[in-house]
Amino acid sequence: MALAALVPGALLGWAVYAAVGGSGDDGGDASTSAGPSAPASSLPPPSPGTPSPSKSDGPDGSDGSDGEKPGTSPGSTSPSASAGTGPLKGKVVVIDPGHNPGNFRHTAEINRRVDVGTHSKECDTTGTSTDDGFSEAEFTLDVAHRMRALLEEQGATVKLTQDDDRPFGPCIDERARIGNEAGADAAVSIHADGSGTGNRGFHVILPGSVDSGAADTRAIVGPSRDLGERIAGNFVRATGNGPSNYVGGGTGLVTREDLGGLNLSTVPKVFVECGNMRDSKDAALLTSGAWRQKAARGISEGIVSFLRG
């Protein structure tokens, strides 16, 4: 990848980057786009929390429990969010942990097709996993918990679309609706990719301009790009990992018009594919609790930067 192709806000993180290198409503072929990134806002260190329910030990020996707080129901907030103090007081962030740990038990339900504006597609999928069985659903929920703790410390009201508190789903149309009905100032869907071995790095998926059926993204394309660029730059700085070497042309940014979670959103929203679970080097990062904390911090700092302008 050419250094010049990277969004400017990620250049500092790229200096410490050594080597780069889905399923359901994410993954697959994508068109690319890029633009400038804005400076990051700083977040305070997270408070110690409860242990993660997901696989914990990574190559750094982390126990996976750093910075995490207990979960709450979809659309609800944890007690600390109600305090409403800090620079993000009054701001609402919706975090969408991709897939659900129980989806594999409900194949008939998640295979039901739903309207995403441009076409219909499955309600949801099981997601991908590493070769040794650490699931995307476990990963996304753990990162979501860590993000919630960081953002609530800044005063934001944080809502999750699911917290492993329902048998399956929600479907991709409902995931979008949760963010819309919350009047979210920013919504972020967390994922990990299931691409081929050797494909490494993160990418942020931005909504394309869609006006079809129930989908009309025209009003959110601009602010969603701003949100995505800020997340991409901060993700590099926080993790030291570079953008995807297989989509996005080295920018870490991809635009798509086929994802229901973006097509049906009426609030600024992006997807973050944090890495490729099917590559052993990326998998070693994704299964590390310490690295997941860095990823959560990078995404959260991008959100803070976007919300503070």
| pLDDT higher than 70, residue 188 | yes
Provide the pLDDT confidence category of residue 85 given band limits of 50, 70 and 90. confident
Report CA torsion sign: 277, 137, 160, 156.
negative
158-184 pLDDT tens trace: 999 999 999 999 999 999 999 999 999
Give the whole-angstrom CA distance, residue 170 versus residue 298. 26
**Predicted local confidence at residue 25, as pLDDT:** 62
Q: What is the distance between the terminal CA atoms of the chain, rounded to a whole angstrom?
A: 30
pLDDT above 90 (res 30): no
**pLDDT top residue among 114 and 70:** 114
pLDDT in tens, 216-237: 999 999 999 999 999 999 999 9
Q: What pLDDT sits at residue 22?
A: 42
Q: Is the pLDDT of residue 113 over 90?
A: yes
Q: Please tell me the predicted confidence (pLDDT) of residue 98.
A: 97
Q: What is the DSSP letter of 42?
A: P
Of how many residues is the chain composed? Answer: 309
- pTM above the 0.85 mark? no
User: How confident is the model at residue 84, as a pLDDT?
Assistant: 65
Q: 3-308 — its CATH code?
A: 3.40.630.40
pLDDT at 145: 98
pLDDT at 290 over 90: yes
Cα distance between residue 61 and residue 141, in whole Å: 20
What are the residue boundaries of the structural domains of the chain, listed by start?
A: 3-308
Answer whether residue 300 shows pLDDT above 90.
Answer: yes
pLDDT digits (tens, 9 = 90+) for 144-159: 999 999 999 999 999 9
**For residue 143, pLDDT beyond 60:** yes
Distance CA 227, CA 101 (A): 28
52 pLDDT more than 80 = no
Sheet strands (E) in 28-117: 31-32, 92-97, 113-115
Active-site residues, by number, are: 273
Q: Return the higher-pLDDT residue of 112 and 3.
A: 112
The answer, yes or no, to whether residue 260 has pLDDT greater than 80, is yes
**Contact predicate 57/236, CB 8 Å:** no
Question: What does the pLDDT look like over 2-16, one tens digit per residue?
Answer: 333 444 444 333 333
Confidence of residue 50 (pLDDT cuts 50, 70, 90): very low
- Give percent of the chain with pLDDT exceeding 70: 73
